Structure 1
Amino acid sequence: MPDADKGAVADQPVVHTVLSAAEQGYGTVLSLKFPYYEQPVPVPGSAAMATALTRLDKVLPAVMGKVDVLVVGNEPFIECRQEDRNTPQLNAFYEAIARRVIAFRDQHGGASNKTKLYMGALNRLNDPAWRTAATDRWMSFTRDTAALDGVDIHPHVAGLEEAQAFLDYVLPRLRDGQTFLALEFSLVHHWKAHLSDPVSGAFAAKYAIPATTQVWEVIADAIRRPFTQQKWNDFLALSPWFANRRHFLRDAVRRFRATGRLAVATYGVSQDAAMVADFGPKSTPWLLNSMFCPYTVQRGPAGLPGRNTAWTTSFRDLQ
């Protein structure tokens, strides 16, 4: 949302890309991200709230009726200071934003408008400490607001059973007819738990590296000097902690769909620069989630980016 201060919203890279995709007939989702990591969440009626609403008023005319789904907030309970995480102030801010969005849509066709409205994502619901009075109020507001179609969840977990905790929390708190989004999900916490493991003996032997080399060191080496596609395939396929989770993408989406309440699930397409910066044993290895791997795998002979081939079959089958 702060990018709304940088000029015409429709011309900014993220929004331009989304709108271009919509014009080509693709389904599109846009999340409105309000970052308050280092400042208090605005209080309705304050100058900071006025700033947030002014930005919102710039964005809504550019996207309403053009994107299929508009999400109020991205990860509200992470994109704030820790002391604001479980406070009525956080709820009050996002409820005010949601009402502003709803009022704008009401002025432009209401429920007949192409754009469906959802509240932004709940995180870490597998941890009881993240199921709070604030998340309960988040769900109550979602359920009781007729213009909202549901809520987003981001199950970044260590195992599929932890993703079930998100469904167990959200689904009973939605009203009949509401649905959920899963715009981010992954096993990133499982990958992270294995970064300091020794690399598999088979991989070490095949590529003549010390058996004591740790997983994170192999990844760091791939970032410095991208591997061939075969070497990256071997690294993942010969690592039991990865290979025995190679069906996660398929299994997670099947579980979401089995509820009968899934509206949209999306998955990370590509590695980016932030994922590989200063990579070390304590890094969060988002790069292992990605379908495409331009930062760890050499380009193919036709110039196409390298891939994480473990996900390819599941991704295609899920289509």
Structure 2
Amino acid sequence: MKAFVAAAAALAMLAPSAGRARVAAGPQAVASSGALGANYNEHFEDVDYRDLEKAQTHWVRIFLPMPQIDRDGAAGHGAVQTILDAHKHGYHTLFTLKWPYNRSAFPKAGSKEMKRELARLDEVLPLVVGKVDILEIGNEPFIESLKEDRGADLNAFYETMARHVIQWRKAHCPTACATHLYMGSLTRLEFPKDQTATTERWMTFVKNTPEIDGVDIHPHVSDIAQSKAYLDYVLPRMRADQKFISTEFSLIWWWKQQMKKPVAPAFARMYHLPSGTLNWQVIADALANPFGKSEWDDFLALSPWFETRRHYLVNQMKLFRDTGRLEVATYGFKQGSSMSADFGPDKDPWLINSVFAARSVHANPDGSAAYGYGWIQDFRALQR
């Protein structure tokens, strides 16, 4: 069984609504509102304009772990250089500032550590404000923090960062600034226990701060129906003029539930696999010795757990767009090094999401990455 092309007629109804656009030096200029772009997370090294052109997308998203600029300086960091290069190539750009505090407490106001964080901001902001389309303040605060710190200290830290960004933009990019500001992502909202006083204050800050254009959501879920909890939570808590972005979203926990299950019998027969071979073992083999594209396609196409959800991207984007409040969403674009390292039965299989299978499939003759199975046709159709 091979990949089949999604019906274009069904997808034509899902075109994004009109919104602001800018003249692009590289790809054709497109309306930003409701757009679907490419998310690279921290893997700036994976940006290849050939991939972006093949997917017909116009948005690039990268995040910067802020402590890393202490090593090379902000101007020398690959994430900064790459997002600015994408801007020069005419792409719309979304740049996320990430503060990893999952091993230490948030710094207190006036402390040496807080001054260090503000100094890092002062290195980055002159480079990106006025150039990137969206600057996001915080990546996944409720994951990138200690559990005991996910209260008032979390709010206080991120509000301090946001106010500093707002003041800097006001002073240095005061009128018609090209860079819009969004607060970082809310996660795990499908679980009522994670809708807390802290998330409530997060949304109150978003709503009451006129310089903030909206909030990010990351619905990494096991069932698409769970993503509705994110929309139900954030939309009533924002101003009418605010929108949401979704820089990450996926069925990661559904994929993970399948990893320790036996591979599809039809695939096992086709490729003469030993009895009892598990899905994660097939992926590990593909990472150790990349498959030909047809073999990777067969693995996923013959697996009901994937094939029945092959149009997840279309369905999720429809839920987002139907709100009329989506500014831009970016989807996991390319298998990166962190996804493939030490792959085993308990590894989160993020690489199944990827539009381009750079790690599990042989590269094309020109060295560019091969398409993954199931995503590229829908990804392209969603650009229209």
Above 0.5 in TM-score?
Answer: yes
Say if 2:195 is the partner of 1:195: no
Matched, 1:220 2:312: no
Task: Output the TM-score relative to the length of structure 1.
Answer: 0.97
What is the letter of the counterpart of residue 118 of structure 2?
L
Q: 1:40 — aligned with what? A: 105
Deviation at 1:303, TM superposition (A): 2.9
Contact kept, 8 Å, 1:111 with 1:147, in 2: the verdict is: no
- 1:87-236 correspondence to structure 2 within 5 Å: 87-110=151-174, 112-236=176-300
Is 2:102–2:146's contact at 8 Å kept on the other side of the alignment? yes
- Separation of aligned partners in 2, 1:133 and 1:111: 35
Once structures 1 and 2 are overlaid, which stretch shifts more, 145-154 or 100-109? 100-109
Flag structure 1 segments of 5+ consecutive residues without an equivalent: none
In structure 1, distance between residues paired with 2:367 and 2:163: 47
Aligned residues: 318
Contact 2:297 2:372 in 1 (8 A): yes
2 CA distance for matches of 1:235 and 1:8?
Answer: 44
Measured in 1, the distance between the counterparts of 2:314 and 2:153 equals 38
Q: In structure 2, what residue type is equivalent to 1:128?
A: P
Q: Residues 89-117 of structure 1: CA distance to partner in whole angstroms, max 9, x if unpaired?
A: 10001001100000011112336111000
Separation (CA, whole Å) in 2 of partners of 1:181 and 1:111: 23
Contact 1:201 1:211 in 2 (8 A): no
Question: Identity rate of aligned residues, in percent?
Answer: 50
- Please state how far the C-alpha of 1:282 moved relative to its aligned partner: 1.1
| Contact kept? 1:182, 1:266, Cα under 8 Å | yes
What SS does structure 2 have at the residue aligned with 1:168?
Answer: helix
Aligned with residue 65 of structure 1, among 130, 134, 154: 130
Contact 2:186 2:217 in 1 (8 A): yes
- The Cα offsets for residues 288-318 of structure 1, whole Å up to 9 and x where unpaired, read as 0111112111112343312213001110001
Query: Which of 5, 13, 23 is matched with 2:88 structurally?
Result: 23
The separation in 1 between residues aligned to 2:275 and 2:194, in whole angstroms, is 40
Shift of 1:278: 1.5
In 2: Cα distance, 1:17 partner to 1:110 partner: 25
The structural deviation recorded for 1:220 is 0.8
Structure 2 letter corresponding to 1:198? P
- 2:126 alignment partner AA: P
CA contact (8 A) 2:184 2:215 kept: yes
RMSD value over aligned CA atoms?
Answer: 1.1
Higher relative contact order (CA 8 A, sep 6+): 2
Amino acid aligned to 2:356: F
How far apart are the structure 2 equivalents of 1:61 and 1:272? 29
Matched residue of 1:310: which SS? coil
Once the two structures are superposed, residues 182-231 of structure 1 have per-residue CA deviations (whole angstroms, 9 ceiling, x without a partner) of 00001110000010111000000000002311111111111111111000
* Deviates most, 134-143 or 293-302: 293-302
Residue number among 83, 90, 94 corresponding to 2:148 in the alignment: 83
Deviations 1:209-257 (A, max 9, x none): 0231111111111111111100000000000000100000111111101
Equivalent in the alignment of 1:14: 79
Work out the CA distance in 1 between the residues paired with 2:95 and 2:216.
12
Equivalent position amino acid for 2:82 in 1 = T
Change (3 A) 1:21 1:286: same
The TM-score, its normalising length taken from structure 2, stands at 0.81
Q: Does 1:275 align with 2:339?
A: yes
For residues 152 and 110 of structure 1, the distance between their equivalents in structure 2, rounded to whole angstroms, comes to: 24
